[in-house]
Amino acid sequence: MKRSDIRVELGDRSYDILIGKDLINNPEVLKQHLTGRVVIVSNTTVAPLYMQTLKQSLQHCQILSYELPDGEAYKSLESFDKLNSFLLENNCGRDITLVALGGGVIGDLVGFVAACYQRGVKFVQIPTTLLAQVDSSVGGKTAVNHPLGKNMIGAFKQPQAVIIDINTLNTLPPREFAAGMAEVLKYGIVFDRQFWNELIIKQAQICALESDLLADVIKRCCQIKAEIVAADETEQGKRALLNLGHTFGHAIEAEMGYGNWLHGEAVATGMVLAAKVAELRGYISEQDYLEVKQTIASYDLPVVKPESMQVDDFIKHMKRDKKVHNSVMRFIIPTKIGHCDILDDVTEAELANVLK
């Protein structure tokens, strides 16, 4: 497989996304982005699979490593504090480079530490889950969760590089792969009808992890994300469209307890709920709504809200959402498959109707 490189154009903070096979065990590739003293941060699930290989490929570096327990519950201020303490205890200076080896939790946490430690150090993303590869590792949004809301404490911090080794998907549990597909499907609904159609037609090959096709899918998602980030790095406008399903989804995660619903699962249900808002308003047809719902379900993703969650449970979290502006809730709603708009006039009565 030929390696694909995508450039995220951000002036003097521009960087490359590398997509290919066997990148973790390719010293020559890694040497272009990692030199000197590095700290590899991973978790107890990913580290046994890839830590030793990565260390072997980074023999030209001075290496420290740090492991967290696995799970969304550890994307917290406590973990942030512990990692900072580890860096201080090991006399890490501003010349350190942090390496995030893992999924979205590791990438977000390490990026936030990199933004804050000694007022900013370099970091490199090596995402090992589909969700992180197509979404969270690209674009510089870093954060930890708070009991009252997801990703509420964080910073924009761009990596030096994103190195996507698609071989890591071979060890990804099916539930985690499905969660990543939620973000893939999101790109189709928001920006690219043709891509959406391909995800329907080629579902069997994608789920069979056909490597060339999977690399093309990841590349398309990263191309879209790179273009959006270059145009709207700090989410003042168009980048907010990438949050389709997230206002509903973040409410589910916060209410049900982080990790009980995977992020992708909550977003999948959130996209169906957003599509229902669109259908009830007449923006999309019932046929399009059912196509969204059935396609998401066909990738083994949930499409119905948690039975225990009531309308008020959603609204209390939605009112803390980062898209709230002047105390008005804003939602990303599809106006057709391949196009979405930001709406600030969705009423609580509408939400109650949808959430029934």
**For residues 272 and 276, what is the distance between their CA atoms, to the nearest angstrom?**
6
Q: Which of 150, 239, 276, 305 is catalytic?
A: 239
Q: Give the active site residue among 157, 186, 220, 246.
A: 246
CB atoms within 10 A of CB 330: 20
Q: Which of 151, 243, 255, 330 is catalytic?
A: 243
3-state secondary structure (DSSP) of residue 172:
coil
Which stretch of DSSP H or E encloses residue 150?
strand 149-156
- Catalytic residue flag (residue 356): no
How many CB atoms are closer than 10 A to CB 194?
10
Alpha helices in the chain (DSSP H): 27-31, 47-57, 77-89, 104-116, 130-131, 174-191, 193-201, 203-207, 211-231, 246-256, 263-281, 286-298, 311-318, 348-355
Distances from the Cα of 232 to the Cαs of 7, 47, 58, 139, in angstroms? Answer: 15, 34, 34, 10
Cβ distance 111 to 100 under 8 Å?
A: yes
Catalytic one of 150, 225, 293, 305: 225
Of the candidates 91, 119, 326, 356, the residue annotated as catalytic is 119
Rounded to 5 degrees, φ, ψ at 153 are -125, 110
Active site residue 146: no
* Secondary structure (3-state) at 232: coil
Q: Give burial (CB, 10 Å; 0-12/13-18/19+) of 128.
A: buried
Has 198 been annotated as catalytic? no
Would you give the DSSP letter of residue 287?
A: H
What CA–CA distance (Å, rounded) separates 259 from 192? 30
Tell me, yes or no, if 317 is annotated catalytic: no
Of residues 72, 183, 233, 265, which has the active-site annotation? 183
Set 122, 150, 186, 263: catalytic member: 263
To the query of whether residue 183 is one of the catalytic residues in this protein, the response is yes
Q: Give the phi and the psi of residue 146 in degrees, each rounded to 5.
A: -125, 150
Is there a catalytic annotation at residue 330?
A: no
State the catalytic residue, choosing from 75, 150, 250, 293: 250
Task: Indicate the helix (H) or strand (E) that contains 274.
Answer: helix 263-281
250 is known as an active-site residue: yes
Q: Decide if 33 is catalytic.
A: no
Q: Which residues are catalytic?
A: 119, 141, 183, 225, 235, 239, 243, 246, 250, 263
